[in-house]
Structure 1
Amino acid sequence: MSDAPIRVLVCDDQALVRTGYVTIFSAQPDMEVVGEAGNGHEAVSAAQRLHPDVVVMDIRMPLLDGIEATRKLAGPEVVEPPKVLVVTTFNVDAYVYDAFRAGASGFLLKDSPPAELVAGIRTVARGEALLAPTVTRHLIGRFAERLRPADTARPGRADLVRALTARELEVLELIAEGLSNAEIAAALFISPETVKTYVSRILTKLGLRDRVQAVVLAYRVGLVTAAD
């Protein structure tokens, strides 16, 4: 694993909020704030120029909102997208749905404690989806048929799921339940490193970019359901 700090781009139209984020993130030994943006256009331009690992993105911004900026930076057609952590004051299903459909890897509210924001950056930087298990089940289960990123809508994807090993299917199901790698390891009595290997294999076999798309696919093919 690289010892390089997580490169963070902060995008919010309120200068005071940006300053707060920069102060918090810059104080972390494993993070480096590489830039700031005050609107969606600036966010896209800065991300393309600075190549951050994680973009902290507000939803409501002038000129170009955070959802569309996220789509431009992390949509299905983007080859090497940054991880986008959407942070907003609005706890609305539609915003979460739109954010993940646009390619976001995580969703937090602005009133989350600083420790949660910092942990959120680390989580999405590792390639894990950031949603509490209860939110994952409610939201993804509700919108699974509407969430159709280009990579998960291709014919034959259900056959690929059936081609997974029994253990890989177990891991995929637990991912869809919203469990972290550590929680999956405890549930299956294996090491977290082994879980990481399984997750990597699953994403590779299914041609998926991250855990969010894996969760969506698990619901869409019926491996898990909202009523489970």
Structure 2
Amino acid sequence: MAGFKGRHFTGEVILWAVRWYLMFPISYRDLELMLTDRGVAVDHTTLFRWIQAYAADLEKRLRPYLRPCTGSWRVDETYIKVKGRWTYLYRAVDSRGQTIDFLLSARRDAAAAKRFFRKALGQPHTVIPRTITVDKNAAYPKAVAEMKRGDELWRRTKLRQCKYLNNIVEQDHRRIKRLTDPGLGFGCFQTARRTLAGYEAMAMMRKGQVRKVGGRDMKAQAAFIAGLFQIAA
């Protein structure tokens, strides 16, 4: 896991910058100016390196503290531009809008859908779904049927292909799109994967999914993240 040893700035400054970049639709240059205004001179390229070093690590450390999701899954994909090409961000929320999981994929097919379902099922805050609501993408019935045959998915899980029931996840995509728009796309797949993990982590926190941390309590969120990285808030 990433630490702060060898950095020219304190962990407090680094985590402040990481939190703000992952929470709000700002560019690295915007964040550079914000830090300058607070007396901290950091180049935007350094800020990029901090996000690459700590965003995915934050998401990994946060996972064990998430509240359990319900068994009603709403699954959909949205488009993310990587190196000038469109890729697919698989995302799922439950009936209350809580984030279940996400997966960036170069393809939109049954194999990608299965990878996403396997990843989601392996998370500590998820349960075996009673229902999975999807759109009319033909890859989902194929993926679900194959996973049931392989005993990877409960045989009584019901797949519903109904677009209007998926409004909740389609609305939730907008959170992520607002954050990705200032960057005008990602330079490579790994950069996108790490940054998106951080976006999703902070979104889960702001939804109130972290136990004992209010979704609108910025001080509690800052203290919680500092604790995850074992530094004082």
TM-score (norm 2): 0.25
Higher relative contact order (Cα pairs below 8 Å, separated by 6+ residues): 2
